[in-house]
Amino acid sequence: MTDDGFAVSRYAAGKGDRMDHTEDAYVTGSSAPGIAQRSLEQAIGAQVRTHRTRLGLKAADLAAAAGISGSLMSKIETGQVSASLSTLQAVAVALNVPLAQFFAAAEDQRDCSYVRQGQGVVIERRGTKAGHQYTLLGHSVSGELVVEPYLITLSREAVPYTAFQHAGVELIYMLTGRVIYRHADKSYALGPGDTLMFDATAAHGPEELTELPMTYLSIITYPRNG
């Protein structure tokens, strides 16, 4: 462990000056758990459950629509059984999705979003009318977690707006300008390099625009299925 708290690889002395690896201990600074490998059955089951909940169906309702028993549906969703193609086809029809969608989740693919400088998508949000411009810097199209990274620009004509309120967790990183940012019943003075992370279900937003123009990163995360 180094003085700055980061873990590093460990080596054991060998003959002469040569150092041999004794452990592959390269890690990141994150404490996130490792990736668990899922079986094909588990991947298919997760897809079935995701599509079902998205439609607001109960497992029993989907089982009835697909013409299978509730217990079999439960085993499919939990990856406890290798269902036949005809059964999966019936489930896919009941969910109105292609059968291939169930198998796509098992492929070794991961989201990656690349946006060149100045090519983010400018979108409208509740603060747009208050002179707050939102530029979406990336997007996630799959997985259980939605991540929305924005570059927010407040022009000299911008006005305070503290009524933002939505699901998830938000992280703000100040780039330029200065602001008094309110979250719930507390206010924070933010300047370049400052970070604020908070529960976004409480009312929040810029309370006092002390130095304009202003830019900051806003990264919002929330569960995809509510």
Q: What is the CATH number of domain 1-109?
A: 1.10.260.40
What was the pLDDT predicted at 19? Answer: 44
Please check whether the domain covering 121-223 is classified as CATH 2.60.120.10: yes
Q: Would the pLDDT of 12 be above 50?
A: no
What was the pLDDT predicted at 175? Answer: 98
Model confidence pLDDT, tens digit, residues 93-106: 999 988 887 877 65
Model confidence pLDDT, tens digit, residues 59-73: 999 999 999 999 999
- The mean of the pLDDT values for the chain is 82
Does residue 25 or residue 29 have the better pLDDT? Answer: 29
Q: What is the mean pLDDT of residues 148-156?
A: 93
Residue type, 113: S
**175, 192 Cβ separation under 8 angstroms:** yes
Q: Would the pLDDT of 17 be above 50?
A: no
Q: Residue 99 contacts by C-beta under 8 Å, 6 or more apart in sequence?
A: 85, 88, 89, 92
Distance CA 107, CA 83 (A): 18
Does residue 56 or residue 123 have the better pLDDT? Answer: 56
What was the pLDDT predicted at 221? Answer: 94
Cis peptide before 213 (omega within 30 of 0): yes
Phi (first) and psi of residue 151, to 5 degrees: -100, 115
Burial tier of 34 (Cβ tally within 10 Å: 0-12, 13-18, 19+)? exposed
Distance CA 35, CA 12 (A): 28
Q: How confident is the model at residue 131 (pLDDT cuts 50, 70, 90)?
A: confident
- Cβ atoms within 10 Å of 98's Cβ, excluding its own: 11
Q: Is 138 helix (H, G, I), strand (E, B) or coil?
A: coil
Token pair of 129 as six digits: 């009318």
DSSP state for residue 81 in the 8-state scheme: S
Residue boundaries of the structural domains of the chain: 1-109, 121-223
What was the pLDDT predicted at 22? Answer: 43
H/E element holding 150? strand 145-154
